[in-house]
Amino acid sequence: MSPRPQIAHLRRQEILEAAAEVIRDRGLQATRIADVAERMGTSAPAVLYYFESKGELLSEALVAAEEGFYAEFEQQLEVMKSASEGLVMLVDACLTEGDYDYALWIELWPRALREPELARTREQLDARWLETIATIIRRGQADGKFRDADAGDVALLLGSLLDGLAVQVTLNDPAVSVERARQLCLELLEHQLGCELTGAGVT
């Protein structure tokens, strides 16, 4: 019987952060549990004590990254002057390198087609994301700054556009710069909500 791995010095969050780094660098297919352990300076059994598979590690790493994003973004929303400012902040956060982890999402999407657990993770995270967008839109409508449109539909449009454009930005597509992606997202919101956003501050 193998001895129990010494894991007292490890924290689950630290393992998730190391896993996210390795997956970003190598892609999930090329990532081994041993690679994550090496990044942590520990052994594979110590990592496997917490996570049984690469799929579980990816799912948990993405959830942890999302929690970090929301914690920071919600602090920003608390001091926003208007819903218009909030939408601009949201678009900029998604398109700013390091703020939103599209590299992990790109790894998750194809696996979610065939792995029910990852499919559930994707569904839950997407639902939270769309509700975040819709909540900002509803605030602008309540303040009389946005026209009366279905907030859920507009959120779905923006979320889908952001996902597609952010993939191109992440892949360094020369046809889709961050500035162009930002402009397209803000123009969509202006058209849907009858507001002025393209002159708003750039991060």
Calpha distance 134→142 (Å, rounded): 12
Q: pLDDT tens digits, residue range 54-81?
A: 788 878 888 888 888 888 888 887 888 8
Residues 11, 18: contact at Cβ < 8 Å? no
The Cβ of residue 13 has, within 10 Å, a number of other Cβ atoms equal to: 12
For 1-52, which CATH superfamily applies? Answer: Homeodomain-like (1.10.10.60)
Q: What is the CATH number of domain 59-193?
A: 1.10.357.10
Q: pLDDT tens digits, residue range 114-154?
A: 888 889 989 999 999 999 999 999 999 999 999 999 999 99
- Give residue limits of the domains in the chain: 1-52, 59-193
Q: Which of 133, 165, 124, 125 is nearest to 152 (CA)?
A: 133
Confidence check: pLDDT of 5 > 50: no
What's the start-to-end Cα distance of the chain, in Å? 55
User: Rounded mean pLDDT of 84-105?
Assistant: 83
- Find the angle CA(50)-CA(67)-CA(95) to the nearest 5 degrees: 125
Calpha distance 94→113 (Å, rounded): 23
